[in-house]
Amino acid sequence: MSSVTKVDENKIQDIKAKGIEGQEIKFTVSTSPHIRCDESISKIMWNVNLALAPAAIFAVFYFGIPALINIIVGGVSAVAFEYLVQKYRKKRITAFDGSAFLTGLLLAMSVSPSLPPYMMVIGSFIAIVIAKHSMGGLGFNIFNPAHIGRAALMVSWPVAMTTWTSFKTSVDVVSSATPLNILKQQGYGKLIETFGSNTEMYKAMFLGTRSGSAGETSTILLLIGGAYLLYKGYIKWHVPVLMIGTVGILTWIFGPAGLFTGDPIFHMMAGGLILGAFFMATDMVTIPITVKGQVIFAVGAGAITALIRLLGGYPEGVCYSILLMNAVVPLIDRLVKPKKFGARG
């Protein structure tokens, strides 16, 4: 460092001796502006990874080693696939900018912790190579890569994808259905019975002591991560609030025993909704670019989620709802533009 400074000083003295000849220093010439903020893609992406860390760490403690292995395999394989694709396509290597790692991490967090690691590798191949790089790489993919990976695994290995484990005590690993599964197959009464009481159920859902995908269970830790992203300005509140709110309102209205008998609190914390709403429906690449467009996106995704949960064959619909809304983003962006200055009256 000091040697660098010294060289510069010599250069400056040289210039001064010659009376600052313009030709002595080569100035960079470029269009304005000449200053920029210190945000960068990798800073944003690694911050999102950081925001996911509390829930990911909880998953490791709660679900044990298999969850840890899946998270590592997911993150590392995603980065490796991105590196290889970029190497093969002779593109600038951006595999370490945090976005590939984020895709792998999100995939690992949105599948069952007991999923065999080789399936994780295949899922992250589909996410990175097919969903992201066949579209042109970061910024060009239409669909959320992690969700494409998850959907592909879902149709390929439906059994492995819906085999859930949970810790009952610190040593016993028991296979158990997710709360949404119980609701779908056995009804709301059975669901409450499983947990003991409403309060117990809400407590388990809030803290994360329930079965489900590795990273989706702890509402509180996901909310902490989401709050961090909101504070940093990397996401806007509209998307998660409207998506979760829409699910809450629709599931409350269309309850199991007639209108306004649903349990919105349960539905808002159940499944992958919190994870999806804060971390997938806010993926800047695959959602509309204007706030107005994002509002449409969020409400649409929430409505489709509720539709699948209430009427569909699957117990959960967050992944498909976001993918379906991803598909209409180009249309939304064409139709919804900000009002330009001079036309606002």
In the complex, the residues that contact another protein under the rule CB under 8 A are: 8, 11-12, 15-16, 19-20, 22-23, 25, 27-37, 39-41, 43-44, 92, 94, 136-140, 284-285, 287, 289-291, 294, 337-345
- Comparison of 36 and 90: residue with beta carbon closer to another protein: 36
Supply the minimum distance, in Å, between the C-beta of residue 152 and another protein.
Answer: 23
Classify burial at 146, counting beta carbons within 10 Å of its beta carbon; exposed 0-12, middle 13-18, buried 19 or more. buried
Phi, psi at 270, each rounded to 5° = -75, 160
- Strand blocks (E) in 121-172: 165-167
Query: Min. distance of Cβ 122 from another protein in angstroms?
Result: 26
Q: If DSSP codes are grouped into helix, strand and coil, which group holds residue 188?
A: helix
Q: Which residues contact 266 (CB under 8 A, 6 or more apart)?
A: 179, 183, 191, 201, 202, 205
Helix (H) or strand (E) holding 254: strand 254-255
Taking the complex as a whole, the smallest distance from the CB of residue 101 to another protein amounts, in Å, to 15
Q: Which is nearer to another protein, 135 or 224 (CB)?
A: 135
Query: Look-up: residue for tokens 């994808």?
Result: 161
Q: How far is the CB of 300 from another protein (least distance, A)?
A: 18
**Least separation in angstroms between CB 275 and another protein:** 20
With left for phi above 0 and alpha for psi between -120 and 50, is residue 126 left, alpha or beta?
A: alpha
Which residue's CB is nearer to another protein, number 5 or number 170?
Answer: 5
Residue (233 or 258) nearer to another protein, CB: 233
Question: What's the closest the beta carbon of residue 181 comes to another protein, in angstroms?
Answer: 35
Tell me how far the alpha carbon of residue 174 is from its chain's centroid. Answer: 28
- For the CB of residue 39, give the shortest distance to another protein in the complex, in Å: 4
**Helices 41-63, 99-109: crossing angle, 10 deg rounding:** 30
Looking at the Cβ atoms of 17 and 174, the one nearer to another protein is 17
CA nearest to 162, candidates 58, 315, 338, 337 = 315
Nearer to another protein, 90 or 92 (CB): 92
In Å, how far from its chain's centre is CA 123? 15
Q: How far is CA 14 from the centre of its chain?
A: 54
The dihedral built from the CA positions of residue 139, 143, 144 and 149, taken in this order, carries a sign that is negative
Question: Looking at beta carbons only, is 313 or 342 nearer to another protein?
Answer: 342
* Token pair of 1 as six digits: 């460092």
Residue 285: half-sphere exposure toward Cβ, Cα within 13 Å: 22
Give the residue with the Cβ less far from another protein, 48 or 299. Answer: 48
Smallest gap from residue 16 Cβ to another protein (A): 6
